[in-house]
């Protein structure tokens, strides 16, 4: 059943009507009046009820779709999108970030194998070829929903066990072993989901993913891990603050 939002428009305001409508809907979402999955009225019904044009109603809804607050599905309607998880671009683990924000993190270990470093892994970890390293593959969930696929490479002599990583974040497990991440170099990007990833992340073909490549170092400049992670863009974002000179 579609829900209508009480919207009071100020037609004398310099703020465009579409933005007033979008802001009112967003306030209702933030206040918890429109839970995830709630269907909104159609743009035709909204335009008629508020006395605005259909393009204005469409623009209001599209603004919220672009911000990730609503999702529109052909033949289904417009719904309130799941909350997106915001993560500061800092040297922390996703597990700790989720727990700190009141989410319930869960880890499914998809692989924990010891291999010999080939030329590429040797370059990533700055170790000689043939060095034993652990390749770690995990599916991270938040409140029971899949959120990220993570692959990490670590020197075998310092890598936490699969049992440790099933309950703790990688950095917490490393700190428990006396290994402290000090600084990292990371790169954030985007791409579309692959056929193998889509069912694991519960995303449709062609969905957008955020990507992060990170190499972490200890206080003496030694690499302790390299990670290659993908996140559901529909449920996740990186959040950072920038300063002027």
| Tens-digit pLDDT string for the chain (245 aa) | 788 888 999 999 999 999 999 999 999 988 889 888 899 999 999 999 999 999 999 999 988 887 778 888 777 889 888 766 555 545 566 776 676 667 788 899 999 999 999 999 999 999 999 999 999 999 999 888 899 999 999 999 999 999 999 888 899 999 999 998 888 888 999 999 999 999 999 999 999 999 999 999 988 889 999 999 999 988 877 666 555 65
User: What is residue 85's predicted lDDT score, i.e. its pLDDT?
Assistant: 52
* DSSP β-bridge partners for residue 106: 141
Q: Alpha-carbon distance 79 to 73, whole Å? A: 8
- Which domains are assigned to the chain? 17-80 (1.10.10.10), 85-239 (3.40.1410.10)
Q: What is the pTM of this model?
A: 0.64
HEC letters along 122-152: HHHHCCCCCCEEEEEEEEEEECCEEEEEEEE
Q: What is the 3-state secondary structure (H, E, C) of 93-128?
A: CHHHHHHHCCCCEEEEEEEEEEEECCHHHHHHHCCC
The answer to whether the Cα torsion of 198, 199, 201, 207 is positive or negative is: positive
Helix (H) or strand (E) holding 31: none
The β-bridge partners of 108 are 139
Q: Of the candidates 235, 152, 165, which has an alpha carbon nearest to the alpha carbon of residue 193?
A: 235
Axis-axis angle for helices 54-66, 43-50 (nearest 10): 120
Residue 87: how many CB atoms within 10 A of its CB?
Answer: 20
Tell which residue, 88, 89, 91, has the closest CA to residue 182.
91
**Distance in angstroms (rounded) separating the CA atoms of residues 198 and 204:** 6
Torsion of CA 214, 217, 221, 222, to 10 degrees: -100
Start-to-end CA span in the chain (Å): 51
pLDDT of residue 239: 66
Coil/strand/helix, residue 173:
helix
Q: How big is the chain, counted in residues? A: 245
- Tokens representing residue 162 in the block: 């699969």
Both structure tokens of 115: 């291999």
| Strands 145-155 and 223-232, bridge-based pairing | antiparallel
Q: What are phi and psi of 62, to 5 degrees?
A: -65, -35
């Amino acid at each position: 059943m579609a829900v209508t939002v009480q919207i009071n428009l100020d037609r004398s305001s310099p703020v465009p009507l579409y933005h007033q409508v979008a802001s009112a809907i967003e306030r209702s979402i933030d206040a918890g009046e429109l839970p995830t999955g709630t269907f909104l009225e159609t743009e035709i019904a909204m335009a008629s009820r508020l006395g605005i044009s259909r393009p204005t109603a469409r623009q209001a809804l599209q603004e919220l779709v672009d911000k990730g607050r609503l999702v529109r599905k052909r033949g289904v309607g417009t719904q309130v999108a799941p909350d997106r998880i915001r993560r500061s671009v800092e040297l922390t683990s996703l597990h700790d970030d989720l727990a700190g924000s009141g989410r319930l993190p869960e880890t499914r270990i998809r692989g924990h194998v010891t291999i010999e470093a080939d030329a590429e892994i040797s370059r990533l970890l700055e170790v000689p070829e043939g060095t034993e390293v652990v390749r770690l593959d995990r599916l991270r969930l938040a409140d029971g929903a899949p959120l990220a696929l993570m692959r990490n490479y670590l020197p075998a002599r310092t890598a936490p066990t699969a049992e440790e990583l099933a309950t703790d974040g990688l950095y917490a497990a490393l700190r428990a072993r006396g290994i402290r991440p000090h600084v990292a170099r990371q790169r954030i990007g985007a791409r579309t989901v692959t056929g193998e990833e889509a069912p694991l992340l519960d995303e449709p073909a062609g969905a957008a993913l955020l990507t992060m490549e990170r190499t972490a170092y200890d206080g003496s400049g030694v690499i302790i891990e390299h990670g290659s992670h993908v996140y559901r863009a529909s449920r996740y974002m990186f959040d950072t603050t920038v300063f002027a000179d």
